[in-house]
Amino acid sequence: MDPLCGGTRAAYFTVTGQWSKAWFYNPLGPLAVIGVAAMALRATLGFAAHRWLVVDLVVSSRTTRFACALGVLAAFALGVRQQFLVDLLL
């Protein structure tokens, strides 16, 4: 099982308002749906107003390394979690 298993079901349950089921299948599902909705809203507002929201982040290399390490650790933890749900996800 990889960390993305159950993502489609999680996205479906998120869209239908069943947040607890979505979180149970894959915690990335609700986050992905929220991210797609935010990008669609940004695109709609950008096309309508002819102005684009631009965010410039200035971060140190230490912060970047910490964020990368945290992301790798989170992906590993999610992969382990999905292994425990292998009977449900298959």
Question: How deeply is 29 buried, as exposed, middle or buried, from its count of CB atoms within 10 A (0-12, 13-18, 19+)?
Answer: buried
pLDDT at position 1 = 62
Q: Where are the alpha helices (DSSP H) in the chain?
A: 7-15, 19-25, 28-49, 61-84, 86-89
Q: What is the pTM of this model?
A: 0.75
CA torsion sign for 90, 14, 27, 70 is positive
- Structure confidence by residue, pLDDT tens digits, 19-35: 999 999 999 999 999 99
Q: For residue 9, how many other CB atoms are within 10 A of its CB?
A: 17
**Angle in degrees, CA 15, 21, 24, rounded to 5:** 120
